Structure 1
């Protein structure tokens, strides 16, 4: 089969959408399919790799280093007339994504969209909560142009169906348990963090930005420090809120963006993953922490709701219960024996999740759309 993927974010950009879409493309190629990619040019003069089409982009406000693709409907129509894909996957809802869905519809090519980002919740985090219904209507209109909207959890599938999203289809997520593993715990790295003995290290991995609800992580950690003054807090990632956070908390450890093996070392070298975000569609980092044998404190939705069992793998807190989040951080963070048992159980819980299975399911969805379109298309005269 020949598939096309359209996305407005792609590595080396580091975010959940970019890494998830890259993994989906790699999975399809590993299954023997031809996969073409359409994305914005990340730097001036950038040349496309094999199978890539680079389009014009513009900087994304509040997100330095990220771009959104500018409209390119005519360009995509010509591209797909010349080399027609059997199905298209549109991963992002920006202008390039809209262009891709329009071009696919005009050419009669089946298209699936991916629901990767809760823009409606971002409205609240950036102080314009009154725009949440507008954002949801905009997203519904976009995704209903597609033949299927792919979501990572049953919970989100139910939520969207209740709000008028059509053809919502479950595509579960997985984690590479070979990359993320407790064996990558690194005592030299812990020493570099200034950790003494068995002092607990809390870690946050993700974008350092308003939508991640980071003040709660800070409050929870400070409460842990009341009972373990030697505790340390490591932050992996970057973002617009880092500067202020670093000025206000000079004892925190800021590790910057980490990738690949280095990211695995950082995860495995921590003792407790704090994830206070309420704006995730899934939260891949939850699975990465569990695979690394690190207990997690997070709100009970997304990946946490799907895979983390409260009291066994960490704490799954009712969304919005900040006191519960803080109490769980103090309780688990101060008990080394409990963290050890939870870490083993967390690793076991995700050991059977295989990226290869996700790729197979993704392939089945796109191939099914292609077959349906072929049956519906009138025979040539």
Structure 2
């Protein structure tokens, strides 16, 4: 079986209506598959003005705005028109990338039609409640996810550390890696632009601590702010550059009144913004990989990050950055202070990050996932599909 024989039905909870690392990775995957003559059909919620143009054939599934987070949409069910389209497409593998209602419906369809089934895990949904004072829901969410993923033939995670978490949570007997790549034409130390930086009011000789990501509480904005507060109280010379947009921007601006908020940046502008920082700070524990961390490393920045899934697989402590216990604002401030005070150390760890980032090639990564598709299809054809739910302990 060749890649050109693949017929993939991809179910996504957010393929392109809000921009984030997960859906950009999915669009890049689809583009790669189409370039290699595979056939792909995408099923996802849609909106009138999406964040970016979708790659491939996108079929809209019913959805509604999530209360309190209206920029995101929750799917409901697969109506007859979508099921008819799915039947006509006749995929030989179904890929679900979101544990929503449409994902559950896709699993049922695949089981009913004896079609190979894979799930990709893009974020640690079970950790989200702790950012909204509802940590008691985490065990319930974990059980919900386990019920879904155990019905799949395999699941893939974007990092070794996340794959290990999934094994420990008993999500599947077959856990593989679908990592992430970095566009080195955009993210490079050469993209640094002192004039652009100066235009934002950032001094040449003061270290700039940067944040990149969607401005939502689950990205650890509270920990970031508290750590910067400690830097201020210690009177450590620094400035802060925030790149990104999101519903928590007003809150974040109120917590960091002296920070520079550059808003959304894309393409070459994004590469310039990241390369113009001096230290990258990522306190989030929800990422399963951390695209932004890899992009910062490719730009030659040392990284201070939470010792959590994703970051643990990317950042080598004491070599390309510092890993800190999640939520430990004193330790985060200590690491940031060290980098702010030592430009030679920043340069040393930044250069090591560039070298490490070079192994993340999109072509190799997406080819590996296509080979996993082919393996699962062959197993299904041989009558060796996924282990039954009751067989996993």
- The Cα shift of 1:356 comes to 0.6
Alignment partner for residue 319 of structure 1, among 326, 330, 349? Answer: 326
Residues in 1 aligned to 2:31 and 2:54: alpha-carbon distance in whole angstroms? 17
- Kindly indicate whether residue 152 of structure 2 is the aligned counterpart of residue 159 of structure 1: no
Mapped to 2, the partners of 1:125 and 1:67 lie a distance apart of 19
Instruction: Tell me: CA distance 1:375–1:76, structure 2 relative to 1, closer, same or farther (3 Å).
Output: farther
Matching residue within 171, 178, 183 for 2:178: 171
How far apart are 1:225 and its partner, in Å?
Answer: 4.3
CA contact (8 A) 1:104 1:110 kept: yes
> 1:374, CA displacement in angstroms?
2.2
Partner of 2:43: 38
Distance 1:50 1:229 in 2: 49
* SS in structure 2 at match of 1:371: helix
Specify every segment of 5 or more residues in structure 2 that has no aligned partner in the other structure, as ranges.
1-5, 385-393
- Maintained 8 Å contact 1:63/1:239: no
1:376 and 1:282 map into 2 onto residues whose CA distance is: 33
**What is the CA–CA distance in structure 1 between the aligned matches of 2:80 and 2:142, rounded to whole Å?**
27
Kindly indicate whether the alpha-carbon contact (under 8 Å) linking 1:224 and 1:333 is maintained by their aligned counterparts in 2: no
Partners of 1:302 and 1:289 in 2: CA distance: 17
The match for 2:13 is: 8
Deviations 1:131-177 (A, max 9, x none): 11000000111111211111122222222223321222222222222
1:65 Cα deviation from its structure 2 partner: 2.5
Q: 1:345 aligns with which of 328, 352, 364?
A: 352
Q: Which moved more, 1:352-361 or 1:214-223?
A: 214-223
* Contact 2:244-2:263 within 8 A present in 1 as well: yes
Matched ranges for 1:76-87 at <5 A: 76-87=82-93
The reply on whether 1:96 has 2:102 as its aligned counterpart is yes
Instruction: Indicate if the aligned counterparts of 1:332 and 1:338 stay in contact, CA closer than 8 A.
Output: yes
1:262 aligns with 2:247: no
Matches of 2:61 and 2:49, distance apart in 1: 11
Deviation readout 1:262-316 (Å, 9 max, x if unpaired): 1111101111111111222221111011011111100123232112111221111
Q: Check the 8 A contact 2:16/2:54 in 1, yes or no.
A: no
**SS at the partner of 2:204?**
coil
State the secondary structure of the residue aligned to 2:285: coil
For residue 180 of structure 1, what is the aligned residue in structure 2? 187
- SS for the counterpart of 1:302 is coil
- For residues 13-50 of structure 1, the C-alpha deviation after alignment (integer angstroms, 9 at most, x for no partner) is 211221121122122223221222111121289x9986
Matched, 1:115 2:114: no
- Counterpart check, 1:59 vs 2:59: no
- Cα RMSD of the aligned pairs, angstroms, is 2.3
Alpha-carbon distance between aligned partners in 1 of 2:222 and 2:195, rounded to the nearest angstrom: 29
Paired residues of 1:287 and 1:303 also in contact (CA < 8 A):
no
Residue deviations 1:237-260, cap 9 Å, x none?
Answer: 122221122134322111222222
Is contact 2:59-2:82 (8 Å) kept? no
Contact 2:179 2:289 in 1 (8 A): no
Distance 2:311 2:58 in 1: 35
CA contact (8 A) 2:281 2:304 kept: yes
Matched, 1:295 2:282: no
| Matching residue of 2:390 | none
Alpha-carbon distance change, 135 to 275 in structure 1, aligned in 2, over 3 angstroms = same
Unpaired runs of 5+ residues, structure 1, are none
CA distance in 2, matches of 1:162, 1:191: 47
Equivalence for 2:228: 221
How many aligned residue pairs are there? 377
Instruction: Describe the shift of the 1:260–1:59 C-alpha distance in structure 2 as closer, same or farther (beyond 3 A).
Output: same
Residue 150 of structure 1 is matched in structure 2 by 156
Partner Cα separation in structure 2 for residue 129 and residue 12 of structure 1: 28
Partners of 1:275 and 1:62 lie apart in 2 by 25
Partner of 1:355: 362
